[in-house]
Chain A
């Protein structure tokens, strides 16, 4: 790749990202698999960046997984989204900060639909009013939570305790970034850097000292495929697509994969274990996998948060090799602790992947 590209071609996609006062909508998958990431995000927003972000008890799932697996009608999801907007409006906010990439895509798609088909917006208003008595305003700004971290990546860099550099060699760590499909593939102008060379994560990685790997299957889907994962018989689709990515990135020896979508993070983590079981194949060095991290986890590590407070113990692929390269100190015995510091027995470590 030439120098010209590394500086980024973001100029043609000038995405606006609100600077403060966000209404936070959580992600089903992130809460389930990486709850520490959402905790870290709010902590960074409030404690490091001094932002006002509202965490509402009454919002629900956007039903996006149900919608994309076709058991939730378009009209229904429009109205559920309208309800989230109504809650935001009622709390006095105009800027939506979205934790989930599927949801982010849903919000963008629905707002775009309402622009092109105003009768759909009218219907959503009527439906919401009838069902809940609520009214709503369309957010002034919709940002994925990774957009916000991107926006403040320099401020985070200033507070950084660690840099994404191999502490032994001084070389930048090689990081693969994987962008969730629904972040920019549907609406390239809604993503930082567009759909083809999305720079929301690569800009963070570079400014925090790491190097971004450009590998052939960079843009390929992780393979979630909604119904293709939800049904056991279809999971071959899901794993095969992830495998295609790993095969493609392997020659570049990435130190970790960073994702902005919680689903991608989880699948690219778990499928490495299943591939190891099925094919006795691992993609990291020394029989290990390649750690797959959320961008919140990455930001948290850079800021010096404890890896086990971030929730790295919830990953199937162990992240210790990555932490060691970063020179991050951690207490191994704390990895599997429960609430109030209680030490628990850890998970079974599979023989196929260390």
Chain B
């Protein structure tokens, strides 16, 4: 029986662990926190079908309960070394795990919106991120301004921390556009009187049913889409937020005040991802995510023999892409172990 250690207990890690244990391998899943599931636990509904995130939680929960793999929580990897075709991983609590293969599934981190100072996050009361909104939606509480009023005008800002040299991130985080569309629909359902405006550069509705959801947002929910990137936010004396962009299709500057502003924050390589790159000597791409050996036909392999990648440690990914990617990682690892 061959052994595999999977690092990271989010969607990618669990799916890979489950698939590899189904193949009959001896799998250990290592997670740094005390809970399994990763960031998905914070989400309320998933795009594009607005499925409740709890369904995904259940799915992952069943995999963990019924899967034939061990889970080690509160554990991080401190060191890795290779000898005789095996990898030795030393954990922060000084345990050593010997394994035939490693799958890095350390995922992403949400862009820290306070780095875009001009957007006023953590400065102004009514600027929140898409992650904050998701948590508020999940809590079931009424969406209000900090002072407790129902927002009448809401702005949703695309590309926060993505496609932005100033944030150091040139890449597109892929999921924010559709997240914005999804959240604007949810806000409209909760606050039917509110006017909702999305400020975008391109609407990258790349996935199945994304474009349809965008159309639904326009047709059924009266969401206004304005083509122009947010330049700055400031607070009026009444705590409403003055936002400025160019209405690029009109070729004129545009301003408006909103009661609530939602920043669609992008994805950055997670701390765990960066740390694994250092520990295992993995190559990172220009975007800081882990580099696969080939974008087309080696997209779970690395330059290191026996180390594989799964999920958004490779780059920004939606949940369904992550699940597919994790399965393909499992197959890749399985094939490798067969030849060993």
Q: Are chains A and B native binding partners rather than an unrelated pairing?
A: yes
A residues with CB within 8 A of B: 1-2, 4-5, 9, 194, 196-197, 214-219, 251-252
B212 within 8 A of A: no
Identify the 4 closest CB pairs spanning chains A and B, nearest first. Answer: A196-B117, A216-B234, A5-B123, A216-B242
Q: What is the chain B residue whose CB lies nearest that of A12?
A: B115
Residues of A within 8 A of B125 (CB): 2
Known contacts A194-B117, A196-B117; is A218 also within 8 Å of B234 by CB? yes
Cα-based distance from A248 to B275 in the complex (angstroms) = 47
Q: Is the CB of A214 within 8 A of B117?
A: no
Bound complex: CA of A218 vs CA of B118, how far in Å? 11
CA distance A9 to B121 in the complex (A): 12
Q: Are A251 and B123 in contact, with the CB atoms below 8 A?
A: no
Interface residues of B in 101-151 (CB under 8 A from A): 114, 117-118, 122-125
Classify chain B's interface size.
10 to 19
Nearest CB in chain A to that of B116: its residue? A196
Q: How far is the CB of B315 from chain A (nearest CB, A)?
A: 26
Question: Distance (Å) between the CB of A178 and the closest chain B CB?
Answer: 14
Q: List 14 A-B contacts (CB under 8 A).
A: A1-B123, A2-B124, A2-B125, A4-B123, A5-B123, A9-B114, A9-B117, A196-B118, A197-B117, A214-B235, A215-B234, A215-B237, A219-B118, A251-B237
Residues of A within 8 A of B114 (CB): 9
**Minimum CB–CB distance for A241 against chain B, Å:** 13
A283 nearest CB across to chain B (Å)? 15
Q: Which residues of B contact A251 (CB under 8 A)?
A: 237
Q: A216-B236, A217-B234, A251-B237 are in contact. Are A1 and B117 (CB under 8 A)?
A: no
B142 nearest CB across to chain A (Å): 22
Is residue B216 contacting chain A, with contact meaning CB distance below 8 A? Answer: no
Asked if B122 contacts A5 (CB within 8 A), the reply is yes
Q: What residue in chain A is nearest B239 (Cβ atoms)?
A: A1
A-chain residues with CB within 8 Å of residue B246 when the two chains form the complex: none
A1 touches B232 (CB 8 A): no
**How long is the Cα–Cα vector from A9 to B119 in the complex, in angstroms?**
14
Q: Complex: how many Å from CA A2 to CA B239? A: 11
Closest to B123 in A: A5
Contacts of B234 in A (CB 8 A): 214-218
Complex CA gap A9/B124 in Å reads 14
A252 touches B237 (CB 8 A): yes
Of A4, A196, A197, A252, most buried by chain B (CB within 10 Å of CB) is: A196
Chain B residues with CB below 8 A from A194, complex form: 117
- Which one of A1, A9, A197, A219 lies within 8 Å of B235 (CB-CB)? A1
Q: Is the CB of A4 within 8 A of B122?
A: yes
Give, as a whole number of angstroms, the nearest-CB distance from A300 to chain B: 31
